[in-house]
Amino acid sequence: MRWDWSLLAPEYLLAGWAALMALLGLWGRLRAYWLGYVAAAGALASAATSLIWLGDRTAFGDLLAVDHYTTFFRVTFGLIAASVCLISAGYVERFLRHHGEYYAILVVSVIGATYMAAAQELLSAYIALELLSFSLYVLASYAKMDLRSNEGGLKYMLLGAFSSALFLYGLGLIYAVTKTTHYQGIAEALAGDLGGTKGLALLGLSLIVVGLGFKVSAVPFHMWAPDAYEGAPLPVTAFISAISKAAGFALFLKLMVQAFLPLHDDWSPLLASLATVTMLLGNLVAVHQRNIKRLLAYSSIGQVGYLLAGIAALSPETANAASAVLLHLAGYVISNLAAFACVTVYYNWTGKEDIYEYRGLAERAPFVALALSISLFSLAGMPLFAGFVTKFVLFQAIAEADLLWLAAVAVFASFVSLYYYLMVMRQMYLVEPETRERLGVAWPEYGLVAVLVVAIFVVGLGPQPLFNAAQEAASLVYQGAATFAALSP
Amino acid sequence: MVAELFQQYVGVVVATVAGFVLVGAALFANRLLAPRQATRAKGLTYECGMLPIGRGRLQIHFRYYLFAILFLVFDIEAVFLFPWALSFLDVGAMAFYEMLLFIIALGFGLYYAWRKGVLQWR
């Protein structure tokens, strides 16, 4: 076994950067506004450092894999964190206190997210999951004087602790059956003769699914999400909706492929039904929302439904569904961050977050209105935009896995989602504004929004590079699982 | 195989049940055997044998929670330091540096709290 500590360099960088952010906040020499840029630079540097291991297939001991999959997510998480830091810069300076700690916690949470994707073993995965969750609990209740933030944070923490307990119990049962915590060992044990313990293994697996379902807010475990999203400070909402979903699915996908594929026939229907409920309920309830944060919360629940459908469509033979899930995850993260960046810019100007307050935005701030429309179109899955390509590939993979009905439900849910996204655009473009006064220009935020919008079009029009990256990442996860293929009948 | 799995826990179950029975028996025997004579002095709050000062419902200042948190920092440190002190010679240089890093991290926490003015009673 090799304990090559240098493999973890991107995370050392993040940890050091977190300490630096805390110290910068402590000394107070730097204006709070610039802290966001410093933190973003650290996140980007970590993402860049991870490219050193591009194409490598190695592991830290037998705990953390450093391969394409890990690199894919290191880069994704680094970019998410950098974007959120940039979104935060203006907001945090104006509305929050203790700026240094804010960025320190944000940067630390990326480490947790990364190790969730990198873990090859249940306990490492669990610790990483808790590192991410703890950071997010603190961030969600960061507006100390705001009751809604406190309420959302408390709900998030209580349900998070509950789900962690379920997850841990699931891990315990799986360990009891397979006598190992390593994904590959679990797959080998599950592929063999289980005798009377199969029920126990399935119970453990269901508990793990429920625990992770809470973390990624799948229906019926989604109750905390709208309240936490609404209460949390806006950039934190953006961060939770992006990184906790991405990291949750990174872990979910790897776990299902590398550890539980031998039980595929048992969990596939379970996940398919979860996905159905999540897609329908998330999208239908979103129609009624009046607050843009709650709307985006429910829309992200709907997106979780599509991703769960993709996981239900995993199969032992091909890695198509796995790479489709990764691709859609990336597309969702880009579009969602763009939407949240626009919402934050508007909030910084006006302090308003109800959908009807967006009336006439097209006249008052045309660029924000246009960018928000583009990101919402992308979330809905309109052609030209990233959402279309990623959804198309995902639904195709679902249909190919003999789950045509599930793909049909997903398409129906997408149509529903188009309705409520269009309602926001109706407010912005068709309703008369309160005043015709222009809202000013926020150049730094505009720069970020422009980059994200360009990314939406790049993925929408030329998805090949991202698709290739997703495919290579997914195929590596499958190669890791290949050992069991020889064992299973 | 399930039965086999649970058989390992028979000892735990026995110990749990025996624990409850023993405590229950002790309490019951106490009730049966002890003489009971209620006097006013016996009903007083026990404060190291002295007469109690002030009322029983004493409020602790909320500000102490920060000290409690800082105490936890060192409490956890001790929990890890003692087993480490027993075995770090066997584990080698790595263990030394890991613990050094750990203590530096905790020291950083203390420094941060200090500079934030947590230790000042205002």
Chain A touched by B93 (CB under 8 Å): no
> Of how many residues is chain A composed?
489
Average pLDDT of the residues in B90-114: 88
The pTM for the full model equals 0.89
Q: What is the pLDDT of residues A311-369, one digit of tens each?
A: 999 988 888 899 999 999 999 999 999 999 999 999 999 888 899 999 989 999 999 99
Average pLDDT of the residues in A300-307: 95
Position A485 scores a pLDDT of: 46
Q: Determine which of A265-274, A384-393, A422-431, B63-72 has the lowest per-residue pLDDT on average.
A: B63-72
Q: What is the pLDDT of residues A240-252, one digit of tens each?
A: 999 999 999 999 9
Average pLDDT, chain A: 91
Contact residues on chain B for A176, CB-CB shorter than 8 A: 5
Interchain pair B2, A22: CB under 8 A: no
Q: ∠ CA(A302), CA(A339), CA(A398), 5° rounding? A: 30
Contact residues on chain B for A22, CB-CB shorter than 8 A: 112
Position A193 scores a pLDDT of: 81
Task: Output helix, strand, coil percentages for chain B, rounded to the nearest 5.
Answer: 70, 0, 30
Q: Give residue A481's pLDDT band: very low, low, confident or very high (50, 70, 90).
A: low
Average pLDDT of the residues in A11-33: 92
Q: Amino acid identity, residue B118?
A: V
Position A482 scores a pLDDT of: 55
Query: B47 has which bridge partners?
Result: B50
Q: In A96-196, which ranges are continuous DSSP H helix?
A: 99-118, 122-140, 147-178, 183-191
Please report the domains of chain B, with CATH numbers, ordered by start residue.
10-115 (1.20.58)
Average pLDDT of the residues in B52-65: 79
Q: What is the pLDDT of residues B7-30, one digit of tens each?
A: 888 889 999 999 999 999 999 999
pLDDT beyond 80 at A150: yes
Q: Write the burial class of residue B3 (CB in 10 Å: 0-12 exposed, 13-18 middle, 19+ buried).
A: exposed
Interchain pair A197, B115: CB under 8 A: no
Position A483 scores a pLDDT of: 47
As a whole number of angstroms, the distance between CA A252 and CA A307 comes to 10
Contact present, A229 and A240 (Cβ < 8 Å) = yes
pLDDT beyond 50 at A286: yes
Interchain pair B1, A196: CB under 8 A: yes
Nearest Cα of chain B lies from the Cα of A444 at a distance, in angstroms, of 31
Query: A65 has which bridge partners?
Result: A59
Nearest Cα of chain A lies from the Cα of B91 at a distance, in angstroms, of 15
When CB atoms are compared, the residue of A19, A22, A200 closest to B2 is A200
Interface probe for B, chosen from A26, A27, A97 (most Cβ of B below 10 Å), is A26
Task: Output helix, strand, coil percentages for chain A, rounded to the nearest 5.
Answer: 80, 0, 15
As a whole number of angstroms, the distance between CA A83 and CA A99 comes to 17
Quick one: closest CA in A to B113, which residue? A26
* Three-class DSSP category at B47: strand
Contact present, A284 and A149 (Cβ < 8 Å) = no
**What string of DSSP letters covers A46-107?**
HHHHHGGGTT--EEETTTEEESHHHHHHHHHHHHHHHHHHHHHHHHHHHH-S-HHHHHHHHH
Sign of CA dihedral A119, A125, A129, A131: negative
Nearest Cα of chain B lies from the Cα of A60 at a distance, in angstroms, of 16
Query: A66 has which bridge partners?
Result: A58
* C-alpha dist (Å) from residue A485 to A182, A227, A257, A488: 16, 43, 11, 5
Query: A354 has which bridge partners?
Result: A291
Nearest Cα of chain A lies from the Cα of B1 at a distance, in angstroms, of 6
Residue A359 DSSP code: T
Provide long-range contacts, Cβ within 8 A and 24+ apart, for A136-139: A136/A109, A136/A160, A136/A236, A136/A239, A136/A240, A136/A244, A138/A105, A139/A102, A139/A105, A139/A106, A139/A109, A139/A232, A139/A233, A139/A236, A139/A239, A139/A240
Position A488 scores a pLDDT of: 44
Contact present, A346 and A340 (Cβ < 8 Å) = no
pLDDT beyond 50 at A460: yes
Neighbours of B113 (CB within 10 A): 16
Position A145 scores a pLDDT of: 87
pLDDT beyond 60 at A489: no
